Amino acid sequence: MRDFLPEDRPLLILAPMQDITDLAFWRVLARYGGPDVYYTEYFRVHGDSRPEKYILRSIEENPGDKPIIAQMIGQDIPALQRTAQALQRHKIAGIDLNLGCPAPIVCRKEAGGGLLRNPEKIDTILREVRAAVHLQFTVKTRIGFDSPEEFPNLLDLFRRHPIDALTVHGRTVREMYKPVVHYDAIERAARLMACPVFANGDVRCVDSARRVVTETNARGLMIGRGAIRNPWLFTQIREAYETGEVRTQPRLPDLRLYIEELYQETRDPHLRDIAHVGKMKKYLGYIAPGIGPEDAFWKELRPVLNLRDLFAVCDRHLAAPEFFTGGNGNPLPSDLFHGREKVRVLPSAETLPSAKILPSAGP
């Protein structure tokens, strides 16, 4: 992964989030600058598994033409070796092993974060899968299952293997997505590992990106929820490091356009309205909270069951006249962007590629 590292800023990576950071989301994100590296949703690996075709399609169609790391999850060693060999026949830069997924159904199968309870098994997996991977081989982990005190021993284990990068999510499996992130654990990994270490956990804006890099000395940032909420984030971080100022300043109507682009990319003529609303809410659950007084935007969206009502709510909160000041839309909440110096005019709906905008759904 060292070949991918920029000289004067952290490597920017899109975190894998199952059923969310899919090909449709990649297509939208690529229009906003996108990350330096994409990690796929995880390929589920077991005795009878074959790489999921819909995830392979993300690799084949690669809208950003950026390096892709294919992530696997599982604990069956022959199946992991077989899958790694199969994936390497596709246009990828490397293979990643997921040791961080906290979903109970995954952990019960001793996969993802569940493997952190069995360091001996991890040791064997890393040795055998590394032997089957001729490309980059990376690991994404949490800092323990029950306690951060497990991490020093896990780190010793990782150091015994020639992995090419280690992404550390600074929470335990038990902590799920609680507010506290143990950045000291990421700093320890960055200090002791021979390979680059990437920080993961609560990078939501340029300020938090800079703070995490300063606190951890990580060589890269893996961002998931922050990039879903703010698709301009990767561009803003690049601007901050490369020019010293953040010129990209989105407004609420820009967010409205982004939501419509997500709709256009995810829509399926075979899906019922309510199913598509459910898909959109997976994204909106990260986008909407914090917008409007007392989370008014998200509170109105949650009970919505059809697309017309969904976009009517968007119109009221993101495109209505009261959200404009002096002819300009109010800026997004402060954790969505950083910098007010020089504003780069964002493209209009008409100039964005592939953006077929829905008519206003308001009354």
pLDDT, tens digit, for every residue of 297-338?
Answer: 999 999 999 999 999 999 999 974 333 222 233 444 444 433
| pTM, two decimal places | 0.88
- CA–CA distance, 68 with 66 (Å, rounded to integer): 6
CA-nearest of 260, 266, 279 to 358 is: 260
Contacts of 83 (CB under 8 A, 6+ apart): 43, 45, 49, 51, 72, 74
- CA–CA distance, 197 with 171 (Å, rounded to integer): 15
pLDDT, tens digit, for every residue of 53-72?
Answer: 999 999 999 998 899 999 99
Q: Give me the domains of the chain, ranges plus CATH numbers.
A: 2-243 (3.20.20.70), 252-336 (no CATH)
- DSSP-based three-state secondary structure for 338: coil
Burial status of residue 356 (CB atoms within 10 A of its CB: 0-12, 13-18, 19 or more): exposed
Q: Which residue(s) pair with 198 in the sheet?
A: 167, 220
Q: What is the pLDDT of residue 64?
A: 83
11-14 and 37-39 beta bridge pairing: parallel
% of the chain with per-residue pLDDT over 70: 88
324-325 and 220-223 beta bridge pairing: unpaired
CA-nearest of 134, 164, 189 to 3 is: 164
Confidence of residue 8 (pLDDT cuts 50, 70, 90): very high
pLDDT, tens digit, for every residue of 148-172?
Answer: 999 999 999 999 999 999 999 999 9
The catalytic residues are: 101
Q: What is the pLDDT of residue 362?
A: 35
pLDDT, tens digit, for every residue of 209-229?
Answer: 999 999 999 999 999 999 999
CB 75 within 8 A of CB 111: yes
- CA–CA distance, 143 with 125 (Å, rounded to integer): 18
How does the average pLDDT of the chain come out, rounded? Answer: 89
Counting DSSP H helices and E strands in the chain, the numbers are 14, 11
